[in-house]
Structures are given as structure tokens and as C-alpha cells.
Structure 1
Amino acid sequence: MKLTSLLVPENPVPHPRRVLITGCLGQLGRTLQATLTDHVRLGIDLPDCDITDPAVVPFIEAHAPDIIIHTAAYTNVDGAESNPDLVFRINMWGTHNLALACQRTGAPLLYISTNEVFDGTRTTSAYYEWETINPLSVYARSKAAGEAVVRTLLQRFYIVRIAWLFAPGGNNFPRKIIENADKHGRLRVVSDEFGNPTYAPDLAAAISQLITTEHFGIYHLVNGGSCSRYEFASEVLRQAGRGHVPVTPVAHSEWERPSTPPLHALLANTNAAALGITLRPWQEALAAFFQTS
């Protein structure tokens, strides 16, 4: 095993922390490496380092991180339905290995989870951090299992639930909407699935604030406001100068897919907001996305 990346501060602070980021090549991992510039950033990802291999525990111990930010995950929600063993091996047992590494090093763990741990059956309000989860899909159950591992094995942890992540240069919803609009000239988008778009640079900045507080616990870090997939797509096209492309709203039942996404799993940012950590409205974040993409 070896580190995928090692970045040192350009302008060192008196006591920079050693932050180990799993999944450092993914949307959020890349963004965290670009955001946490005051710290030494140790990045691991496939193929250099496999979190499901028990050998990752002594490997991490040898690098002595001050905190681990765990973004690595199997995130193909539909593909997860036909690969449950692989999904749980990565999302639960991989997390288990990282928790063991945290036990050995004394480093806290920040685990990235998902709004999909809620069933989304409630339509009157968003879910708070302390509410009981009820995951529906294989992917959601594996992420909930990862949460349980973190809570069981560690006392010093952050569980950060996010939703509908998008980042500059990533393979994400806004990019797919634009590509399909340009290819087909019209779109059909689900109008009865609701969530909180989350812009990776805003999330990374919030995580940077959060890890300095050492107020451990469960957090919902999403951009302000919420929308349906249809509303998100319509705003993407408007801001991308493609507002003329017709978008037809359709029910989720008309869009066959292997998984069962929660229809109304909105997240309320209560705990982080109490610490003064909030993210701007998703429409403003989307405008920033287009300015940097």
C-alpha cells in the first residue's frame, strides 16, 4: 500500500494537522485536498490503497494522522442492488477498518453519510440529525451500517450526512442534465423526488470549520433550501443558458430503476448551524459551479 497523494501547506501555520482523506480522487476528496490548505493532506484511494484490506489499519497507524476524513464509498445507488456483498464490504467493512485505525492512533473519524438513511416517507418537514433512520435501498443500508460501526467503535467522531453532491469537473447531476439536453433537445425529469443539492466546495469549507470545533456528533451539511429533481434540472438549464430546452415533469413511478430512493429525505442543518456553520442557498452554489466549471 502507498499514499495516493501527499500535500503540505504552502503557507504553514504554527501547528498544521495531518489530515488523512480516503477517496481522495473522488469529487469530495479532491475538493477537500484543495480546501484544507493549512494542513498536511495525506490522500489514499484505489488502486494504491484499499480500505477493505485489513492491512490498511497498520498502514494508517504508521502515517499517524491527526484526523481521518472518510469520503471513500461505493456510491452507485442502482448498481448496489445487484452487488450487496461488494457494497457492504466497502461501505461497512471498509469503515470498520478505518475505525480500528482511529482506535490505534487516537485520531477522530469524520464519516460521510447520506440523506438516504431516511426513508423519505414524511412530506411535512425535513429530518433532524437525531431522528431515527430507516434506510430502504442496499446502498442506504450499507451507509447506515457504516454509521453504526462509527458510533459503536469510537467516541470521537463526526457523522456528516449530505445529499445530491455536485462538484466542478465531476460526473454529477448538472453535467448529466446539460449533456442530455444538448444530445436530445428535451428532457423528462422526476418531479416527486426532493432533496438538498450540495456543492462540494461549500461542503468542504463547512467540514474545515467543523473539524476545528471538536464538537463531535451527527451533522447535516447541505446547501440551503431544497427542490425536486425537476426543479434542480430546470434551474441548471436556466443558469447554463439552455432555458429554452423543454423539460417534462414525470412521477418517479414512470422512471424505472433498480433502487428505491427516498422521495422526501430532506435534511435540516440544526447541529452545525448552532456552531455557526451554514451553507449558502443551493441556487447561489449552482451559480458558483458554473463560474468555475
Structure 2
Amino acid sequence: MRVLITGAGGQLGRALQAALAGHTLIPFAHADLDVADRAAVFRTILSARPEVVIHAAAWTDVDGCARDPERAFRVNALGTQFVALACAAADAAMVYISTNEVFDGTKGEPYLEFDRPNPINPYGQSKWVGEWFVAHLLRRFYIVRTAWVFGPGGNHFVRKILRRAEAEGSLRVVGDEVGSPSYTRDVAEAIARLIETEAYGIYHFTNEGMCSRYDYAREILRLTGRGHVPVVPIALADFPRPSQVPPFTPLANRCGAALGIRLRPWPEALRAYLAEEGWLAE
């Protein structure tokens, strides 16, 4: 299968290349393809003749999107529209990588694939508009929502916690934001299995289970031999940010599980990642 990947230089993009190594891959990092450039998107996709396009390129700086919502819309919404229209012209299926932040976090239990989105910040809004374009412009598409992504090469929560523990010696971490961590290797392998099924639709691919940021940080520290580092739970309200944060957005994998695609529990995935980086103390 000929698979074109946008955002191939990001942490998920690199994991996708590894998971799809048996296919003919056409990777484009941001430096190679600006998805907000409509002409470049059409020229690239039509000339590559892919059977599937995995659109992983996005502006994922949530606070940055809050500061510059126009750019967020241009990259995440219109960029996705351009990719979807080019896929339609090239007769290619599309995988759109979306986010838990399309939900407002008020449900009180894990979100299902067909729960109604209600984003409360510019990042989530721009990604939701991207979902709308994909669903309305294409017949063959997969929308894959993931969350709290970590993996080799990324500047993610795990790395930030370890850096802060070393630099500060104690931590204050939000205890009332709950979600589902996602290991890039597991998400990429799930997507690789998904595109073989041609079971088009909406999917939630996160590692199983949920945790607060506080509990997540404590597990990171424990597994890396830093369990002695003091961690104080604080409220979202005590940690002001430019972006409003949805407080409870675990994602339930119902549609993928029906196809036999499940991701291991997040503590197991975290342990595997830390071992891969050489940080596991146990």
C-alpha cells in the first residue's frame, strides 16, 4: 500500500513510519510540506498517487493556539480541508489524527466515539473543524482521536516532569485534569492495523485506562527511581494558562475494540517507553 504521511517528522509521524515499514511510504515533514499551502498540498498528493494519506501534521501547541487562534484555524482546520480535498481528487482514503480536546470535559465518564464534540479552546475548535471537513468532504476516511501523547523525540509531559524534577527538586502538578496517556508506538501500530480493515469511521486510540496529571507524574517519578521527589496536587484554577482546559477527557475505545484493535494499559506503555529511553529504574 502506498501511504503518504504528513507531519512525518513529529513524534507520532516517526512512529507511524516504523509501524508501516512494510508499506511504500511517502513521508513529508513540516519543512517538506506546509499543509496550509493549498497549491502545495494538491501538487504533492496528486503527484504521489497514494492509496492512503495519514494527516498527522498539526499545530499542537494548545496555549499557542489560544494566543493565535487565526493561525490555529489556518493550519488545523483549513490545512485539513486542503488535504481532504486533495485526497478526494486523488481517490485516496484519509486518516485524520484528532484529539480529546474536541470535548468539553463535562461528561463525567470516558467519551465514546460518537459523543457530541463541544470544544472549549481554539486548539480543540480548530481540530473539530478539521473533523467536520473530513467527514463532509470524503467517503473513505478514518478520524482517529488520541490524547496526552508521549514517545521518543517528543517534548511531552513525561520529559517535562523529569526535567522539572531534576531542576526544581519538588513539583506542583494538577490533580483535577484527567485523561488517557498514549504511547506513540502503540497508537501507530493501531493505525497500521486499522487501515488494513477499510472499516471507515471514528476511532479513539489511547492506551487503556485513565489518570490525573498528578497520578501520572507520580508514576513517572516512581518508575524512574525518583519516588522521593515531593509532588503536591493543585487545581486547574491554580495553574492559569492562556487556554481553557477540558478537565475530564478520557477516551473509550469501542469501535477499534470491535475490530480487535486494543491498546495496552497506560502504565504498561509508560514502562515500555521509559525502558526504551533507558530511564526505567526497576
Displacement after TM superposition at 1:94 (Å)? 0.6
Q: Give the drift of 1:235.
A: 0.2
Which sections of structure 1, spanning at least 5 residues, go unmatched?
A: 1-16
Contact kept? 2:6, 2:33, Cα under 8 Å:
no
Q: Find the partner of 1:216 among 200, 204, 216.
A: 200
- Identity %, equivalent residues: 52
Residue from 159, 182, 205 that aligns with 1:175 = 159
Q: Secondary structure at the match of 1:113?
A: strand
CA-CA distance at 1:233 after TM superposition: 0.3
Residue 54 of structure 2 is matched in structure 1 by 69
Determine the structure 2 residue equivalent to 1:112.
97
- The one-letter code matched in structure 2 to 1:181 is A
> What is the CA–CA distance in structure 1 between the aligned matches of 2:43 and 2:30, rounded to whole Å?
17
Matched AA of 2:266: W
Aligned-partner Cα distance in 1 for 2:177–2:228: 23
Q: Are positions 1:101 and 2:86 aligned together? A: yes
Mapping 1:9-48, distance limit 5 Å: 17-48=1-32
Number of corresponding residues: 276
Alpha-carbon distance between aligned partners in 1 of 2:107 and 2:80, rounded to the nearest angstrom: 29
Is residue 247 from structure 1 mapped to residue 216 from structure 2 by the alignment?
no
Deviation at 1:48, TM superposition (A): 2.0
Whether 2:166 is the aligned partner of 1:161: answer no
What secondary structure, in the 3-state scheme, does the structure 2 residue paired with 1:111 have?
strand
Unaligned runs of 5+ in 2: 278-282
Q: TM-score if structure 1 supplies the norm length?
A: 0.93
Could you tell me how far apart the structure 2 residues matched to 1:33 and 1:104 are? 24
Q: CA deviation at 1:252?
A: 0.6
What corresponds to 2:280 in structure 1?
Answer: none
2:69 to 63, 84, 96: 84
After superposing the two structures, state which structure 1 stretch, 238-247 or 49-58, moved more.
49-58
Amino acid at match of 2:71: L
- SS of equivalent residue, structure 1 residue 81: helix
- 1:46 and 1:115 mapped to 2: Cα distance? 23
Quick one: distance in 1 between partners of 2:181 and 2:32? 31
CA shift digits 1:104-132 (9 cap, x unpaired)? 11111000000010100122x21110111
- State the partner residue of 2:107: 122
Q: Residue in 1 aligned with 2:271?
A: 287
Q: Given residue 259 of structure 1, which amino acid in structure 2 is its aligned partner?
A: S
CA distance in structure 2 between the partners assigned to 1:122 and 1:97 by the alignment: 32
CA distance in 1, matches of 2:56, 2:225: 33
- CA separation in 2, counterparts of 1:150 and 1:46? 20
Alpha-carbon offset, residue 101 of structure 1: 1.1
Structure 1 runs of 4+ with >6 Å offset: none
- Name the residue aligned to 1:7: none
Residues 123-165 of structure 1 deviation map (CA, whole Å, 9 limit, x = unaligned):
2x21110111100000000000000000110010000000100
Structure-2-length-normalised TM-score? 0.97
Question: Deviations for 1:242-269, whole angstroms, at most 9, x for unmatched residues?
Answer: 0000000001100010101110011110
How far did 1:59 drift?
2.1
1:169: Cα distance to partner?
Answer: 2.5
Name the residue aligned to 2:180.
196
Rounded to whole Å, the distance in 2 between the matches of 1:28 and 1:164 is 12
1:117-156 pair list within 5 angstroms: 117-123=102-108, 125-156=109-140
Q: Which amino acid aligns with 2:50?
A: P
Structure 1: how far apart are the matches of 2:124 and 2:202?
16
Check the 8 A contact 2:81/2:134 in 1, yes or no.
Answer: yes
